[in-house]
Amino acid sequence: MKITDEMIHPELRSIGKMIRYGFHFKNENTFSHMQKILNVTRGILRPKNLQWKNYVTLSLHNDQLKFAVAKSNKPKNEAVGLLWVHGGGYALGAPEQDGGFVQKFIEAANCVVVLPDYRLSTEAAFPAALEDCYDTLLWMKDHASELGIRFDQIFVGGDSAGGGLAAAVSLLARDRGEVNIAFQMPLYPMLDDRMMTSSMQNNDAPIWDSHATQVAWQMYLKDHFQTEDVSSYAAPARATNYHNLPPTYTFVGDIEPFYDETRIYIKNLQQAGIPATMDIYPGCFHAFDQFDQTKIAQKATINYLAHFIFATNHYFATQT
C-alpha cells in the first residue's frame, strides 16, 4: 500500500512529510545508532513528577533482569498493576521513552507501572525479549504486596513491538497458568512476521514502513525469518487458539503497516468470545498519538485512557 502525502491526515501531513523524506530505518546499523543516542538521553526522558526506580535482579533462569517501577508521588494501595512494554521493533528502545504513556496512565487511574528493560535483538534474538517481559511479570506478581497492587488486576500493554510483546506475554501467561492477566492493551502492535497483509505490502508511510518491519523481524528472528518455524510467542498473529485471553483494547491508524494485522487480531479475539475493541484513525501513521499538539493525537489519547479507566472498573481475574 503506497502512501501518498494526500492520504495522511491533514493535521499530521506536514509532520509526516518531514519525517518520511528525512529519516528511514535502513538497516541494523540505524537501530544501533539510534540506541546509542537514546542511552545518552534516558535520564532526560524519565518523568520528573513520579516515583521512578530502576531494578536489576536475577530472573528465574539466573539471567540479569532489568526493569523500572513508576508510581505516583502519593501512591495508594489496591492499585492496578500495569506491565508496560516499550516499542522499537524489538531492536531499539528503553523504558524511559514511554514516560509519556506512564504519566498519563498514573494520572488517569490508581495504578503502578512496571516497565521491562528487555534485551534487544541487537544483543539477543527471540525469545530473550519475551523471557525478560514474562519474568518481569512473574516478579510483579510475587511482589504485588510490596508494589501496592491488586493480585486480580494485573494488566499488560505496550506500543508497537511492545504491543506485540504484550500480546505474546498474554499468550504465554495463559498457556503456563502462572499469572492471570485481567486486561491487555497492545497499541498498534507488531504481530505478524509473514508480512503478507495488504497494508504491509510496499507501505512507505512515515515513522515506520514495510522496509523497517522487514529489517526488525530479521533481527528478532534471525535464521527463522521467512520460515514456517516461527512460534506464536514470537509472532502472535500465528496463534490458532485465542480462547481465554484477556479482554483487549487497541487502536491503529489506517495507513500504517500494522493496520490489517491489528484488525485481524481483534477479529480473532472476538470470534473466540473475548471482549475486544479497537479504534481506527483514518489517515494516521504509526505512533501518531505521540504528536500531542494535534487534535487527532489528543482524541486517541482521550479514547485509550477512557478504555483503561473502564478496564480498571470492570476487568478482574481469578487469582492463581
* Domains, the chain: 5-39+56-314 (3.40.50.1820)
Q: Report percent pLDDT > 70 for the chain.
A: 99
pLDDT score at 59 = 80
199, pLDDT greater than 90? yes
Cα 232 from chain centroid (whole Å) = 16
Average pLDDT, integer, range 273-286: 98
- At residue 74 the predicted structure's pLDDT band, cuts being 50, 70 and 90, is very high
Task: Label the pairing between strands 64-71 and 111-116.
Answer: antiparallel
Helix 128-142 vs helix 161-176: crossing angle, to nearest 10: 60
Q: How many CA atoms lie within 13 A of 108 on its CB side?
A: 22
Average pLDDT, integer, range 72-98: 96
Closest to 252 measured CA to CA, from 265, 234, 236:
265
Closest to 116 measured CA to CA, from 142, 98, 100, 103:
98
DSSP conformational letter for 245: P
Residue range 124-135, pLDDT digits in tens: 999 999 999 999
Residue range 282-298, pLDDT digits in tens: 999 999 999 999 999 99
Average pLDDT, integer, range 233-256: 98
Residue range 4-47, pLDDT digits in tens: 999 999 999 999 999 988 777 878 888 988 999 999 888 888 88
pLDDT score at 225 = 94
pLDDT score at 65 = 95
Alpha-carbon distances of 183 from 126, 132, 161, 275, rounded to whole Å: 24, 20, 18, 10
Closest to 239 measured CA to CA, from 289, 181, 319, 169:
169
148, pLDDT greater than 90? yes
pLDDT score at 317 = 94
319, pLDDT greater than 80? no
| pTM of the full structure | 0.97
Grid coordinates of 234: 514470537
Task: Label the pairing between strands 183-187 and 276-281.
Answer: unpaired
> CA–CA separation, 171 vs 298, rounded Å?
31
Average pLDDT, integer, range 134-142: 96
- Structural Rg of the chain based on CA atoms: 18
Average pLDDT, integer, range 246-254: 98
pLDDT score at 320 = 61
pLDDT score at 156 = 98
Closest to 211 measured CA to CA, from 84, 53, 31:
31
78 Ramachandran zone, left/alpha/beta (phi>0; psi -120 to 50): left
pLDDT, averaged across the chain = 95
> CA–CA separation, 296 vs 302, rounded Å?
10
Closest to 261 measured CA to CA, from 192, 214, 202, 212:
192
Residue range 101-113, pLDDT digits in tens: 999 999 999 999 9
Grid coordinates of 50: 513520579
